[in-house]
Structure 1
Amino acid sequence: MRSLDVSGTRQEESVQPIAREDKAHERNLKLRDLSDADVVQASLDGDDRAFGELVRRYDQRLLNFVYRTIGDRERSEDLIQETFVRVYRHLHRFDQSKKFSTWIYTISSNLAKNELRNRSRNPLVLFQTIKKNWSTDDRPLEWEDPKYKPDDLYRKRFLRARVEEAVEELPKHHRMVFVLRELEGKTYEEIAEITECNLGTVKSRLNRARNNFAKIIAPMIE
């Protein structure tokens, strides 16, 4: 009987870790179904996995945003790490009547702006197609063009180089709203919050950035 009891105990012990893993996986799946606001609240309530879910959602997005703004991949990774450190420390101060995405973009945007103030580096921005004419609400730069063939590397590299040159010439404050709108797809209201500018200033800067970009890029690609 003793041997059976031990065997039974061992069997239970071998099953329990698997059961715990399944439950943890189930909880993680449930977190992924929650809104940002609910995940933030879960984190504030002491669920350590919730903050990990916020990192999962925003890590790559913020890295792309900062990288396109400052042009240094390694430094961008440092700034994103600092972003999440600040979010973790100050999450209890976050105004939950606002969008979490806007708040975290504001933090990373401020870090990127400080980086640009402290050193003169040019942003590396990746584009695949350019439209020289657009309306106020259109995004002039798109990531994909069905006319491109997979082996059309020369054209893409040429275009990328010209775009980099054009973006370099945009003032830093114009460049920021340009990237937020044209690459990140943020609304004017979100950009205003992120850059801490009023709506009129955002629209004015974006309009100037678009016009300047079009003038600069046109002779390069004709």
Structure 2
Amino acid sequence: MSFFKKTLPYKDSSDATLVMACLGGDRDAFGEVVSRYQSLLCSLAYSSVGDFKHSEDIAQEAFVEAWRKLDTLSDPEKLKAWLCGILRFKVSRHRRSAARQPLGEHDETTEPASEQASIDDTLIQQQEQTLLWQALEKLPDTYREPLILFYREQRSVEHVANELDLSEDAVKQRLSRGRKILQKAMMDFVENALEKSKPGAAFTLSVLTAISGIGAPKAQAAALGIGASHAGSVFKWASLVTLLASFSGVIGSFFSVRASLDQSRTAKEKRAAIVIVSLFFAVAGVFVAGMFLLEHLAKGAPEMAAAYALSSQLLVLAFGATYLWLLVWMLKRQPKLRAQERARLPEAFTHESDAPGSTRREIKSRWTLGGIALLHFKLGMPEAGDKPALAWIAGGDRAYGLLFAWGGLAVAPVSVGIVSVGFISIGALGFGLIALGTLAVGFIGFGASSIAYKAYGSLSALGWDTAFSGGFAVAREAAIGPLAFARLINNEQAAGLVNLGALEQHHLWVLGVMSVLVIVPAMWHAKMVRKRMGRQDTPVH
């Protein structure tokens, strides 16, 4: 499975990119976060508690807490300030805890220097720590923090100013004042001791070890993020439009079932209509449940994620093949059943609308364009020998439209159906340049699952170029999702290629149009069937 390839170029990535990757479950990205800010957090903690060991313990706790709650960070661009806020809370709690403990239980300075060094080689000798803190403790926090950072971090005023969000002039003033307050005799010793205390790779490793048993922060859509400051907004079904779009298929199916029952003339036909719809729903239910199960298994066993991703795409193909078979079976079964019932119970077909060739069984406009009717909708149950609906705007069990088609099989530039084919297609199976549906196949696919050049799917997305999904996202070039596989994954480069900014801006319009095109024709068709075909309250057995 060499095509499942992950690339993690995080060294020069922005904070926003790192947050997006972390929310996708990438611990390597969090390792870069720790490496980037460990000196800052350890220095601030030391400035508050005056103990190197405790300061690093507190900083480590802050990083672990950040990993747990990363999904609560509303603006990834403010990662540094957010980390500092967590650290200051941890420092405050440490001070309250220390104040409640007897002095002897908290004091670790009685341990021999050799034992202290064996615990962490980066710690300086206990006596040096004590003397160092005695010197620094005399400084107010305003001067102590920039002084500690200055000697631990490249002796750069610019660096200290950036870390503490101060101007360089302010840093220079505080450093100057801090140096004057320190006793001249202690200056050389303080500088050397601080340089030796800087945390290194071992600290980063200890944080990553601490979070190894903690699950990834909730993606919500963050791994699915659109650019970091908007992470989580794409699949956030908060508006009436998205709610309506989510249930548009169910609403449309309800009206289709009602129309099928109104067309039925015998109990056997009614049972057949219910069975057909139930089969479509059952297959969709099994498909969705299977996708959720594979996603759960993949997240629980990351080493098997690629295998589960492949299984998910096989399930997608199986779903598509099953729906195609069900449609063909339905289109063949209905005319055959109607012919059998006409022969078995002729008394059930005495209604005016049931006469062969009755004009009540269809709506066809007299107006034509290029010899093709402007409107043609089939209303009755398909009979043997029936031709498909054909018009500029067509509807029926098989509908072919020069502009728009709606039905079981719909083929038109804009098509809506169980299986739809067109430039813009919407359906349980949508095939088109822009395809929307339970399974969308096309150049741009948007649905529960999609297979496209650019694929967007809530359960899975398989894209030749890019993929974006709340579950499995598999592509050749770029992918964004909690289970993403591509050359570029869950970073700003991937977000740019996936073009999530445009998706966020337009997805409500897409969902709104989809809802209208699915629901309105189904409602109108059901109403006209009931009006024209006549309702049979007591079906003939």
Give the TM-score of the pair, scaled to structure 2: 0.23
Structure with the higher fraction of residues in strand conformation = 2
Bigger Rg, which one: 2
Structure with the higher fraction of residues in helix conformation = 1
